[in-house]
Chains A and B, each alone.
Chain A
Amino acid sequence: MSYRLPEGIYNSSQLRQLHNELTRLRSLRYPKNIVFSSNLQDLASANNIKKLNVATVGDILKFIDTTLDESPELTMTLASAPGVDERDELIARLRRLLHPKLLVHFIIRPELLAGCVVRTKTAIFDMSLARALKDNQQKLVTRLKNA
């Protein structure tokens, strides 16, 4: 069974935490008075799971394992930190544009000024304003000299 990965769960660490939580839940034989984490609640809500039992937990664990194995993960460096809603919007946009189960690890570096740097396992895509300024350095020098 395939589940939808909610925007609030966007990196491999969260998935591993979820995996640990579900494993623990299964080992405790699904006690009724246990409090679930917000990520597990989001995952269940996003996939319309009403009750966590042997079957659903097993499916979710399989989904998490598959996602960790197969989903692409990239590192995105931003100039400033997005809020929660903005981050969810960005994740949604990235999953729509690049891959539906994309995982993202965020880093904040103000010296980028604006834009972002995307690092995959094999490449770096520098889309920052700082890079744009460096690439157009000669134009900047010429304009400053002519000013």
Chain B
Amino acid sequence: MIDTIILILTIISVATFLILCLIAARYLKEPLSKKSKNTGEDLANMSRQAKAEAQDKLEKAVAKEIIALQKTLQAQANVMQVGFTKNLQDITTAQLAEFKKTMDLADSNMKDQAKMIAHQGQQHSKQLQQSLADETAQIKQKVLDNTDEQIAEIMISYLAEVAGDLDYQQQKDYLYSSIEANKDAIKKDIANVV
């Protein structure tokens, strides 16, 4: 950006120089036209001499003006550079501050979210543990209940396996006593049918 400004200033100075040249040319042309009414070599010489002097003065003046202008431009460029630098620093500082603020806010939000997630995780973990414990207790109770319900079947199958070779003679007393105990009921039922 600074380079662009220097370029613009340079163009302005060149333009100023050209304008001054035009003014000088007009200034020189007018006296010569007055002197042209005189006759003789002296006049011509005087004219050339005056022209040369004027041109010399003009060149010196232009050179002086150019130097002054360059100094002014340099000073202005320096001032502008300082200004730009300061502005740039201010902008950068402000942006950095804004960025830092945004980052701090984002960091704070992330920490809050992390805390919340951790808290939720703990709560969820507790719930899962409780649920698991409840379910385990229910399954355990169910197994116990099933075992209680099936204990007779288990015992029967166990006894059938262990005492599978019990022959008729070994259980005859039990058979007879059970028939004896139920004879009246069976007899009554048979009598009803007959």
Contact = CB atoms under 8 A, between A and B. Distances in A.
A116 B152 contact: no
A45 B65 CA distance: 169
Interface in A34-63: none
A60 to B, nearest CB: 22
A114 B164 CA distance: 10
Contacts of B23: none
Contact of A93 (B148, B179, B185): B179
A127 B182 contact: yes
Interface string B164-194: 1011110110111011111101110110111
B67 interface: no
B1 interface: no
Interface residues of B, number: 35
Contacts, number: 100
A99 B156 contact: no
A13 B41 CA distance: 180
Given A90-B175, A102-B190, 9 more contacts: A72-B193, A79-B171, A80-B171, A113-B156, A114-B174, A115-B175, A127-B182, A140-B151, A141-B151
Interface of B: 148-149, 151-153, 155-157, 159-160, 163-164, 166-169, 171-172, 174-176, 178-183, 185-187, 189-190, 192-194
Interface of A: 70-72, 74, 78-83, 86, 90, 93-94, 97-99, 102, 110-111, 113-116, 118, 120-123, 125, 127, 129-130, 133-134, 136-137, 140-141, 144
